[in-house]
A and B are shown apart, each in its own frame.
Chain A
Amino acid sequence: MRTLSRLVAAALALALTAGALLVAIEIVLAGVGAGPLVVPYDSWYSNGRSTMWDSAVARRAFILVLILGAALLLMGLVRRRPLSLPLSTRHELVGTHVARRGLERSLSRAATSVEGVERATVAASDTRARVLATASRHETGNLKELVTAAVNERLGGLRLAGQPSSDVSVKGMKS
């Protein structure tokens, strides 16, 4: 999502820059009596005079604008997990962080180090570490407690500033 929003932002910024410059140039050229350079504003003007507000083409255009706006708003408002999580401060001038992806992989390894856990996926944020572990057998027994302990031990050793809580769920292997 982060990469997509950066690509969209770059494309939009480029389009807006070029479009706005073009509009300014066309206005200046029209002011000195020259015709349209790139923007066919005379035919746009005719279309604007002949197109009614309740026409199908206008409605389609507004629906498109509405959808585009909703997509941009969603892209802007969606909450993304941070790239790194802050550690507790020891020196005023030194900022320390732990990389989120490395932490997630490490917590996943901590979870799979528990006997009976086949695999584990982790999604960490500054407030919570969600662990979804899959047991190597049908019955999960006390695996949830064991995985929680292993994950908490690793998290506790880091002294993260926010002290994220662990949220572990374990599912049994399908027979």
Chain B
Amino acid sequence: MSGDVDRINRYVLSSLGFVLIVIGGYGLARSFGSLGDRYSTGAFLSTNVTSFVARNSEWFWVVAALAALLVGYLAWRWLASQIPTPNSLGQFELNSDDSGGFTCVRARAAANGLARDIARHDAVRAARVKLIADARSPEVEVKVDVYENADFVSVRAYVEDEALERFQRMIDAVDLRASIEFNLSEAPARSLA
């Protein structure tokens, strides 16, 4: 999500920068007579421009207002993308059978359960879990602090193959998507087994 915002910002800032450079470059070139003397000595708003607007005022200002609204809408979308939206799941429904009933699970309780399961590993200092996305198919975001001197491959195997597998069975999810971020922490004074 934060990577998406950065990518959008890079694209929009570069585009705006390019447009401003073109405007500034054109203005300076015209001002210093690079496009011919008659262009550099005229008024900024020439008679040609003002008479064109006056002749076409019926549609010109409508188009100008619509263009301003379009720019405003795009800028509003850009502004909205800067604000992170809370995407935590409140609760989700377990896959129901044909009995007609259904079971809802509180997402925070399930997430805490997975975090505790991951933190059981000796090499894990702490774990935080968040369930996101739609209620039908929850997605898991996991942050794991791992001691840097641990066997990292075995930690990954434990988290991905054991803890996540157990969680997937527990919530009865078929294709559980997960995003796991490991953060390396300073090893404790004693060595880990």
Q: Which residues of chain B come closer than 8 Å to A93, judged between CB atoms?
A: 175-178
Q: Are B17 and A94 in contact (CB under 8 A)?
A: no
**Distance A113 CA – B64 CA, assembled complex (angstroms):** 66
Q: Is B164 an interface residue when CB atoms closer than 8 A count as contact?
A: yes
List the 9 closest A-B pairs by CB distance, nearest first.
A69-B20, A66-B24, A73-B17, A76-B14, A72-B17, A20-B72, A62-B27, A48-B45, A16-B75
A58 located at the interface, meaning its Cβ lies under 8 Å from any Cβ of chain B in the complex: yes
**22 pairs, CB–CB < 8 Å, chain A vs chain B:** A16-B71, A23-B64, A24-B69, A48-B44, A54-B31, A58-B27, A65-B23, A65-B24, A72-B13, A90-B160, A94-B160, A97-B179, A98-B182, A99-B183, A102-B183, A103-B184, A105-B184, A105-B186, A106-B184, A106-B186, A158-B152, A159-B152
Q: B30 contacts the other chain (Cβ, under 8 Å)?
A: yes
Check B72 against A87 for contact (C-beta < 8 Å).
no
- Indicate the member of A20, A31, A105 with the most B CB atoms within 10 Å: A20
In the complex, what residues of A have CB within 8 A of residue B59's CB? Answer: none
Determine how close the nearest CB of chain A comes to the CB of B61; give it in whole angstroms.
Answer: 5
Interface pair A12/B16, CB less than 8 Å apart: yes
Task: List B residues 44-83 near A (Cβ within 8 Å).
Answer: 44-45, 50, 61, 64-65, 68-69, 71-72, 75-76, 78-79, 82
- Interface of chain B, helix or strand or loop or mixed? helix
B158 interfacial by beta-carbon distance below 8 Å: no
Q: A22-79: which residues lie under 8 A (CB-CB) from chain B? A: 23-24, 27-28, 30-31, 45, 47-55, 58-59, 61-77
User: Does B181 sit at the interface, judged by CB under 8 A?
Assistant: yes
Shortest distance from the beta carbon of A31 to any chain B beta carbon, whole Å? 6
Contacts of B6 in A (CB 8 A): 2, 5-6, 80
B residues less than 8 Å from A55 (CB atoms) = 31
- Given A48-B45, A53-B42 in contact, is the A5-B13 Cβ separation under 8 Å? yes
Q: Please, how many angstroms separate the alpha-carbon atoms of A72 and B65 in the complex?
A: 26
